[in-house]
Copies of this chain bind each other. A is one copy, B any other.
Amino acid sequence: MPDMPVPFGDDVSAVNIGKGKLAVFKTDMLVGKTDIPPEMTLWHAARKAVVMNVSDLAAKGVKTTALLASIAVPRDFKRKDIEQIGDGLNAGAREYDAYVLGGDTNEASDIIISCAALGFDEQQSLMLRSGATPDDIVAVTGPFGKTASGLKVLLQGLYAPSRLRKKLVESVLTPHARLNEGLALAQTRAVTAAIDSSDGLAWSLHEISKASNVGFRVDRIPLASEVQDFASLHGLNPSELCLYGGEEYELVVTVKPELWDKVIKNIPLIEIGRVTEKRTLAFRVEGRMLPIEARGWEHFKTNIPRS
């Protein structure tokens, strides 16, 4: 399309609807075989299919107004299964003040929930992936690594004491989109690039790097305390869980340094590093700088590079 207001490959697509306003939309699909781990009910899965899409719009500073859901279910599904899906879709939408307005039902061998989200915004307040500038502060809206740990519990059966287990598993079953943070960040006009972290922190940084033609130096890995505990328990590398996880929905943003103090007065952000002119990505651990690899959580395959 000529004059696309949002370039290919960003979190969302958009259409100019006049007077500097955009219709912003996005579709993201959840597939049973690769996206629904044990203990995740159909209600959780449907809710998550909504959250995935709301999160992508939120990362651009856009509130989702309405959603559609295209669903395919196996032939042996019962009425109560479908109702669970409907309830989960609605619960996810209402949490973020959005509505599910329609959709489509089909039969397939695996369960598929494909949502499309629609929202509206001023073109000039949209946060893209492409504006990061050297010396910008890199920040995230919360700590990382709980979902990667939770998925190890659910998929590989790794042990965690019950309180810890509950927190880790909960992060997988009931993800939250950072909508309020995204909207507030867009208001500040201090954010130069933004993305959600559904493919993992490392992957998100590589995406901004590619779109903005910059590098990153991460001085402080934003590790959730629960992840430190879980990693110790099993001799796992906590940085690995934090960088190369995924299915978490924190926002990763770059912020103009001169506006940083003003921004964090109202929006709790964790500073993790700086944008660099040199197009390399590295993180500091125990006094050493190590490369941040371009890999992330790809569904239920173990960490293999996306191309």
Q: Which residues of A contact B (CB under 8 A)?
A: 1, 4, 8, 12-15, 17, 23, 25-29, 31, 33-35, 65-66, 68-72, 99, 101-104, 106-110, 112, 114, 116, 118, 120, 299
A72's contact among B1, B15, B66, B112, by CB below 8 Å, is which? B112
Max count, chain B CB within 10 A of own CB: residue among A27, A33, A109, A110: A27
B25, A116: Cβ atoms closer than 8 Å: yes
B99, A1: Cβ atoms closer than 8 Å: yes
22 contacts between A and B (CB under 8 A): A1-B66, A1-B99, A8-B101, A8-B102, A15-B65, A15-B118, A17-B23, A25-B116, A27-B114, A27-B116, A28-B104, A29-B71, A33-B108, A33-B109, A34-B106, A34-B107, A34-B108, A35-B106, A68-B116, A70-B114, A70-B116, A72-B112
The 7 closest A-B pairs by CB, nearest first: A13-B101, A116-B116, A13-B102, A1-B99, A114-B114, A29-B70, A27-B68
**How far apart sit A35 and B112, CA to CA, in the bound complex (Å)?**
15
Decide if the interface of chain A is mainly helix, strand, loop or mixed.
strand
A29, B72: Cβ atoms closer than 8 Å: yes
In the complex, what's the smallest C-beta–C-beta distance from A223 to chain B, in angstroms? 29
Contacts of A27 in B (CB 8 A): 27, 68-70, 102-104, 114, 116
A107, B33: Cβ atoms closer than 8 Å: yes
A31, B68: Cβ atoms closer than 8 Å: no
A26, B107: Cβ atoms closer than 8 Å: no
* Given A15-B66, A118-B25, A72-B107 contact (CB < 8 Å): no
B104, A31: Cβ atoms closer than 8 Å: no
A118, B23: Cβ atoms closer than 8 Å: yes
Contacts of A107 in B (CB 8 A): 31, 33-34, 299
**How far apart sit A94 and B189, CA to CA, in the bound complex (Å)?**
36
Contacts of A66 in B (CB 8 A): 1, 13, 15, 25
Besides the contacts A25-B118, A29-B114, A34-B108, what 15 more A-B pairs have beta carbons closer than 8 Å? Answer: A8-B102, A15-B65, A25-B66, A27-B27, A27-B69, A27-B70, A29-B70, A29-B112, A31-B108, A72-B112, A107-B299, A108-B108, A110-B110, A112-B114, A116-B116
Contacts of A17 in B (CB 8 A): 17, 23, 120
Max count, chain B CB within 10 A of own CB: residue among A12, A99, A106: A106
Contacts of A14 in B (CB 8 A): 101
In the complex, what's the smallest C-beta–C-beta distance from A95 to chain B, in angstroms? 15
